[in-house]
Amino acid sequence: MPKVRFQALAESRKREHTSISEIGKRSELFGKHVFNEDKMLQFLTREAFENVKSAIFQGNKIDRKIADQVAEGMKAWALSMGATHYTHWFQPLTGATAEKHDAFFDILPDGRAMEKFGGAQLVQQEPDASSFPSGGIRNTFEARGYTAWDPTSPAFIYKTTLCIPTIFVAYTGEALDNKAPLLRALHAVDQAATGVAQYFDKNVRKVYATLGWEQEYFLVDKALAKSRLDLTMTGRTLVGNFSAKGQQLDDHYFGVIPPRVLSFMSDLEKECTKLGIPVKTRHNEVAPNQFELAPVFEEANLSVDHNLLLMDVMEEIADRHHFSVLFHEKPFAGINGSGKHNNWSLATDTGVNLLSPGSTPMKNLQFLTFFVNTIKAVDTYEELLRASIASASNDHRLGANEAPPSILSIFIGKQLSNVLDELEGVSKGKLSPEEKTELKLNVVGKIPEILLDNTDRNRTSPFAFTGNKFEMRGVGSKTNCAKPMTILNTIVAKQLTDFKKEVDVLIDKKGLKKDEAVFNVLREYIKTSKRIRFEGDGYGMEWQEEARRRKLSNNKNTPEALQVITSKESLELFKEMGVMSEVELKAHQEVELGAYIFHIQIEGRVLGEMVYNHIIPAAIRYQNILLKNVSGLKEVYGAAHKNVAESQLNILEQVGEHIVQIKKLTDEMIDARKRANGMAMSNKKAQAYCNNVKPYFEKIREQSDKLEKLIADDLWPFTKYRELLFAK
C-alpha cells in the first residue's frame, strides 16, 4: 500500500495545467446546447411554440398532436447539433440523476433505416424502475415506473445525447423522485403568493420562487484520491492525522486561483455556458484545495436542474484535468467542510422581487407582508426545514465551526428587528390617523433607507435575510436542492394561504381597511414568531440553553431529524397543499432512513478493512523494524543496550498499545454493526447505527492517527493530509 501512495505522489507531481482557449463573449455562447425560446422559434411551428409557452407559463397540458410537432422540431435541432441519442433525464431518490439512452433510429418495414423521435417518446417513457429506491411504494418485482416530460425545464444536449428533463412516478402515480414534489410545491406557493400579491397589485398573475445556490467543493489530484480507499468508497477520509498547516493562516481564502485549478474552472464554465447554466462567481474557499462557484438567480425548478447537471459536468471536467471533485460535506477533519447555500426569494410576473423593499410605503407593506410571513412559516415548521437538510454526510458539518447549528433560527439584522418591534405595538383593530401617519412615514416608509448595507453576515445563522432574499445555509454540498426547496415553498404556501384567510375575515366581517387588516395580522405573527429570531452566536452552549427555553427543536442527527416528516401536522400540511400524499411522505422518509443506514454501514465496513488490512499490518512492520534495531543494539552493547534503545523501546510500547486498542475498538464496532443489521424497523436500525456504531468511528480514528504520527513515513499506507490538501 505505501507503494501505491508514493506512486500516486510521483504521478501528481508531474501534472501540468491544461491550457483552455478563451470562451469569448459568454452572451454569444450562452445556451448554445439548450432547446430554448430562440431554438423553438426556429424549429417549431407557431402552434407548437405557443402551446409550449402556454405549458410553461400557464401550466396547460400539451396534447399528443402538438407533442408530435414539438418532438419533430426538437429532433431536427438535436440532429443538427450532432446528437445521436435521446434520454429522459430524471432525479430518482438516489440523490443523483438517471438516464437511459435511446438512438434516433428505427427500421422501416422494408428494411430501410430512419431517424425517429415522436411525441410518444418525448412525453413519456418507461424505464425499468425495479432498482430505484421506492420506500415501499412498490414491490421490487413490479418494475413499472414512468418518466414524464417537464416542459418548464428546457431540453439540452450533453455530448451526443438530447436530454429531456422529466418527473419520475410509479405505476400507481406516486412520486419516485424529487422533481415531482418540487413542482407541486412551486405551484402551491405560486397560487398562495399570487393571491396575497394582488392586495398590492391587481396585475400580478403569477409568482415564481427563485433560487441561487452556492456550490462549494474540494479538488484533489485524481491519483492521490484513488490511493485512498476511504475517499474512493465513502467520499471522505475516515482516518488521517491533521496537517501541521491547514487553514489557520486564511491564506487560501480568496487567494490567487492555482493555474491548474483555473484551467479546470475555465473548462467547466465553458461547458456550463453552452448548457445554459449561468455560472458567474468563482473563488478559493477557506480550506486548502476548497473552491466555490455560484450562478445568477433562476426560477427554482430550473435552478435545481442546473445544479444537478453542474455536479455531473464537474465530475467529468475534473477527470479531464486529472482531479477528483469531492462534494462530501466533510471530506477532511479539522478544516472547513462544504455547503450549498440556497438563496431563496419570490418574484412576480410583473418583475417585482417580493422580498425587496420598495420606494413607497405601499411597496414596503408588500415587502413586510412576505418577509413576516416567511419568518412565521419557518417558526411554525422549523423541524421540517431541519429535516430537509438531514443526511449522514451533512451530520458531520452541521454545528462545526464553519456551518450553522442544527437549531433553526432566523437572522434579520438590528434595523429590521427594530421595524418589527415597532409593528408589534400596532393597535388592535382600526388604526388612529396618527398611527397610520407614523407607520407610513417613520416605520414602513423608511425601510429602503435603513436597509442600506443591512446585509451584515451572521455565519452561524441557518436562515438569514440578506437584503432581498433569505439564505438557507445548512444545505449540504451534495444535497439535491429540490428537497429543501420543496419544504420551504410548501410551508410558505401554507402560511400565505392562512394569512389571506385572516386578512379577508378582518376586511369582510370586521370592516377594516386593507392596510389595517394587514397590519393587524402581521402584528400577531411578529409576536408569535419572535422565538425563531436570533442575532447572536449560534455555536455557544448559551444559545442551546436559550433555544431550549424558547422550545426550538435541536435534532442533532439525521434519524432524529427525519421523524417529523410523518408527524400528524406534516401529513396534514402536505395533503392540504397538494404536494405529497401520506404514502409518498412515508416512502420518502423510508428512503432517507435507508440511505442513512447504508452510508454508515459502508463507512463501517471500509474502516474495518483499513484497520485490519492496512493500519495494523503497517504498525506490525514498524514494530519488527524497531525490534530488529533493539536486537542489534543488544548484540553490540549487551546489558547496556536499554540506555541506548530507550526511545525505540518506548515507541514499541506505544505502537503496541495502539494496536491493541484499535483492534479492540474495531471488533466492537463490527459487533455493534451486526446487532444493528438484525433490526427490522428502519427507524430503529438508523438509530442503532447512529448511537451504537458511528461513535466508534472517531475512537478508531484517534488510535489510527496516533499510529500515523509514530510510524515511519515510508511505511504509512495512506496518502496523508498534507499531501492531499497541498498538491496543486
Measuring CA to CA, how many Å separate 61 from each of 54, 469, 588? 8, 32, 27
Q: What is the DSSP string of 240-269?
A: -PPPSSSSTT--STT-PPPHHHHHHHHHHH
The set of residues, in sequence order, having a beta carbon less than 8 Å from that of 552 and lying 6+ positions away, is 382, 407, 408, 409, 531, 532
Residues 6+ apart with CB under 8 A from 399: 405, 406, 539, 556
Coil, strand, or helix at residue 293? strand
Contact of 494 with 576, CB cutoff 8 Å: yes
Instruction: Report the chain (728 residues): mean pLDDT per 10 consecutive residues.
Output: 83 81 79 95 92 85 88 94 95 89 85 83 78 72 77 95 93 89 97 97 96 97 95 97 84 87 94 96 92 96 97 96 96 94 97 92 93 98 96 87 81 91 88 83 81 60 91 95 98 98 95 93 96 83 88 94 96 97 95 96 98 97 94 85 86 96 98 96 96 98 97 95 88
User: What are the cell numbers at 656?
Assistant: 503496541
Q: Are 568 and 176 in contact (CB under 8 A)?
A: no
Bridge partners, 221 (sequence order): 323
User: In this structure, are strands 410-411 and 463-465 parallel, antiparallel, or unpaired?
Assistant: parallel
Give the pLDDT confidence of 548-600 residue by residue, as tens digits: 999 999 999 999 999 999 999 999 999 999 999 999 999 999 999 999 999 99
Q: What is the CA radius of gyration of the chain?
A: 29
Q: Backbone dihedral region of 643: left (phi > 0), alpha (psi from -120 to 50 degrees) or beta?
A: alpha
Write down all domains in the chain, each with its CATH number in brackets: 31-176 (3.10.20.70), 186-233+254-580 (3.30.590.10), 595-726 (1.20.120.1560)
215 and 481 Cβ atoms separated by less than 8 Å:
no
Single pTM value for the model = 0.94
Task: Report the distance separating Cα 665 and Cα 610, nearest Å.
Answer: 13
Q: Do residues 332 and 237 make contact, with C-beta atoms less than 8 angstroms apart?
A: yes
Residues 6+ apart with CB under 8 A from 9: 223, 224, 719, 723, 727
Distance between CA 72 and CA 349 in Å, rounded?
A: 30
Q: Determine the angle formed by the axes of helices 695-710 and 646-677, rounding to 10 degrees.
A: 160
The three cell numbers locating residue 353: 422581487
Residue 250, pLDDT score: 76
Which residues lie closer than 8 Å to 54 by C-beta, 6 or more apart? 60
**436: which 3 cell numbers?**
397610520
One-letter amino acid at 394 equals: N
* CA atoms of 226 and 267, how far apart (whole Å): 23
Chain centre to alpha carbon of residue 588: 16
Q: How far apart are alpha carbons 628 and 711 in whole angstroms?
A: 15
- Kindly report the number of other CB atoms within 10 A of residue 224's CB atom: 22
Cell of 702: 484517534
Identify each DSSP E strand in 240-370 by its residue range: 279-284, 290-295, 298-299, 323-326, 340-348
> Is there a contact between 227 and 719 (Cβ–Cβ < 8 Å)?
yes
Q: How much is the pLDDT for 56?
A: 84
pLDDT score, position 368: 96
